[in-house]
Chain A
Amino acid sequence: MVMEIVCPAGTPAALRAAVKAGAHTVYCGFNDETNARNFPGLNFDRAEMAEGVAFAHSHGSKVLVAINTFPRAGAEDIWHRAVDDASAAGADAVILADLGLLAYAAENHTGIRRHLSVQAAAANADVINFYAETFGVKRVVLPRVLSVPEIAAINAETEVETEVFVFGGLCVMAEGRCSLSSYATGLSPNMNGVCSPASHVEYQEEGGELDARLGGYTIHRVGKDEPAPYPTLCKGCFSVDSKKGHLFEDPVSLNAEQLIPQLQKAGVTALKIEGRQRSRSYVAQVVRNFRAAVDALEAGQPLPVGMLARLSEGQQMTTGAYKKTWR
């Protein structure tokens, strides 16, 4: 089986670009707080979702709808409607994280596949099997805290398909379990679908140096010609005693392209690309690269060498937790 490439689409145009570039599957979300990339100008209204699904299906691609924030108490109907509408739009699966929402989908929409979002941070075979038995989850997106041998061990112990991130932004914290953003800005991935939101970002260029602030905290300062990272909290520059640096993670982005053969051996079903906030040209470019890689692998040919560095944050790449020394 060719490994499935799962691509982000923040807009209908990006969805079409991803499908045309060879994405087996595209994931996207509605334009509200129900999805974890609730950014200005992004995402799909109901009609766009239905059109997007139809377009993808007509090209033989699938569409997954991420409804992966945690419903707000007193307003759960917004999330319930999102599941209803994803199902009505003909989506191939919903990607969920919240226990209550999983229960709702399992009860009311038996016809649509349920995938477990990375936001649920299911990091071992026992809990993955628990989600499968309890809510009929068919696929789990693994948190970015696991090494390749650990992923292999999980696959040996579960029938649930696994999907892993191979490219793009990298969370260093267990996803769905991080309140750094709401601590500093009041808005969180879990509740609002945003992390280190643009509305709280300020850039200031002074004497050739560029300062980046989030919620009033300066967490980056770069020289005139250095790459400028977005001020995501966990990749900020901080100090402890007299030591200064990127204490949690460097402003790098994940690129596990060269690990694809190992991930396939580890039993991984699908490779996920992060970046619903990126442009359609980015999506097309990345998809083409990864599609070429899995096609080469399937044909028993060597992997093409990537050229994706400039697309990446701070222009540095890491293989993240897939290599154990990252920890």
Chain B
Amino acid sequence: MSNIYTLPFDQIGDADIARVGGKCASLGDMTQAGVAVPPGFAVTTDAYLAMLDDTGLRGALETHLKDLDLEDFAAVEAVAQTIQTSFRAHKLPPAVEDAIRAGYANMGADMPVAVRSSATAEDMPDASFAGQQDTYLWVIGADDVIEKTRDCWASLFTARAIAYREKNNIPHIDTLMSVAVQKMVNAKAAGVAMTLDPNTGDRTRIVIDAAWGLGETVVSGTVTPDNFVVEKVLQEILDRNISDKHMELVGDPAQGAAVERAVEPPRNTAPSLTDAEVIAVAMLAKSLERQKKCPQDVEWAFDADLPEGENLLALQSRPETIWSQKAKAKPKNAYATGLMSISNTLTNPYGGKVKTK
């Protein structure tokens, strides 16, 4: 697949990061580091640029976005609607379409895939773009993949995204969009794992949220997930809170979509992961943290179609931002060592519960 418009995950190199956005870059990274990641490819920002330039969309966008009044919600919303419509009114340039068809055909006939946006601005500090663009699950057929790719591009111009960029002085046209097309996981259970405790910043802990089916229910908060706390170094489960997971998101091949399904008792209150699976997820998150050298926020899933031992997949891994920023801002500490320290410790064991002066 030698074209500039698509790039399989296993070929994404460091030089390509600007062309594939944060999400795809991370998937490429993981794939090449030997982490089990569902296969797929990136539709590069070159494809997006071709879309803007070959179809005349760029001119239309520039006109619509000129002199926006952020205070006027209705006007911004109207502009967003117009842009969405004009994206959908244009076919993709033939070379881009061919590249996507070829990339999709490579994955196998009528493979169900997830189509996700991978914006270049996601990596900007404190620009928590994540979640502002679209994700389409269980997409089947090249036509649908192409359509959802275009929808992802269009999602750059929701009223919220436009307003965000205006407010932060980010040029609209310079924010480029790549799209990830990734083999759909037939998730038995899925969720997120953070390599620190989000409540305390405690780096010795890995905190896992898990639910039945696809992990989107966990990310979006539509299901109260099971919560597990794992000691990172000793690799032991410290805590488990099993909740009532009333529904799950599962693929429906007939509809070509992910659908919600009620979870009946007693499965709803049964743990969505075995202890061994909890440890496996924790070790996956830990290895990603070590690989990327900073705390990570990992999306993962157990694939029902894969054999045990090979069924845990990483779907995404991004750096944790909140506590990592705090740690950087923390003043440097000088620590006492030697006898003076021993003397202090004896007088004030456990950080000075007893003051002697």
Tell me if chain B binds chain A. no
A residues in contact (CB < 8 Å) with B: none
B residues in contact (CB < 8 Å) with A: none
